[in-house]
Structures are given as C-alpha cells and as structure tokens.
Amino acid sequence: MSLVTDAIRAAASEMYHGDDICREKSKQLLTEMGLPNGLLPLKDIVEVGYVKETGFVWLIQKKKCEHRFEKIGKPVQYATEVTAYIQPNRITKLTGVKAKELLLWVVLREIYVDVPPTGKITFKTPTGLFRTYPVDAFQLQDDNNNNKNENANEKEKEKKPAVEIKPTVEVKEV
C-alpha cells in the first residue's frame, strides 16, 4: 500500500518525473535542508515529490536497491517507495530504508545532523537505538568541484615537463 495518495500528489509544491531530474532535485532538497546530499543514492527514480507546507517528501524508484556507504562500511536497502518528513537538519517518520547491523536489517525512522554542526549525523530506529557517523561519509562530491580539481591537475601537469632531464657532469682524472 502506497503512502503517496492522489490527494498528497495534488498538494505537492514540487513534483518531478524521470531519473536525472529526480536525482538532481532530491540532492538539492537535502542540501537546502542542511543534510548530506548522498543520503538517498536511489537508482532509476520514477517520481519525487515535496509538500512544502508539511515537509512531506517521497521518492519512488522502479525497484528496490541496495547501496554500500564505503566510508562507514554499511549496506543500506531502499524500498521502491521512500517517504519522510523533512525539516532543517532532520528527517522524521522515514519509511522504506533499512541498514544492516551485524546480521540483521534494521529499519531506520529518523536521521538528524547535530546543530551546531559538529560533523556528526545520527540514525535512529523505531526502538530508540541509534548510531552516529561523520557527515562526510554521506556527502557526494559536487560535480563542479570535481571539474575544477581535474582542471587544476591538468594545468599543474602542463607546468611540469613530462620527463625531467638532469644535467650530467663528467669528472676526468688527471
């Protein structure tokens, strides 16, 4: 049963269809709310919607997917429908997201970034258990920053010769 009804869709302030625009808009919304833009690395997104008045947001993808956050070594599963209420530095009433802890998949219900910023993000379960990690483990590098870094590296390479030639000195014995 879907939590996203026609009435919710009608009340949406923003709604997008198609993978590319949906990925871009979901990252943009997370950034605007002070959350790391890599929290929802969904694939083949069909629809993203946001009701600004209530903070309700939904993401629908073609099929459920699993993503491993390499910096913390944790796999996370995302259902075909992920819903939540979003506000500055916090996601509440999250549905459709599970994290693997030891041998069990644990449902996540809340995510928040510490204020004032300490560089920590906390994930809570419905039972009150929680884990805290560094925020940068969930932050994607901005494409513009990547391009700037690549251009800077290319310019640096141009300054240096490809092969360094060292002068040699011959010493003759008399």
Q: Of 90, 84, 17, which Cα lies nearest the Cα of 56?
A: 84
CATH fold of 6-159 reads at5g01610, DUF538 DOMAIN (2.30.240)
pLDDT profile of the chain (174 residues), mean per 10? 88 94 95 94 95 96 95 95 96 96 94 88 94 92 49 47 53 61
Torsion, Cα 79 84 86 89, to 10 degrees, reads -60
Predicted pLDDT of residue 112: 96
Q: Of 105, 125, 118, 57, which Cα lies nearest the Cα of 85?
A: 57
Predicted pLDDT of residue 169: 56
Name the pTM for this structure.
0.77
Predicted pLDDT of residue 118: 86
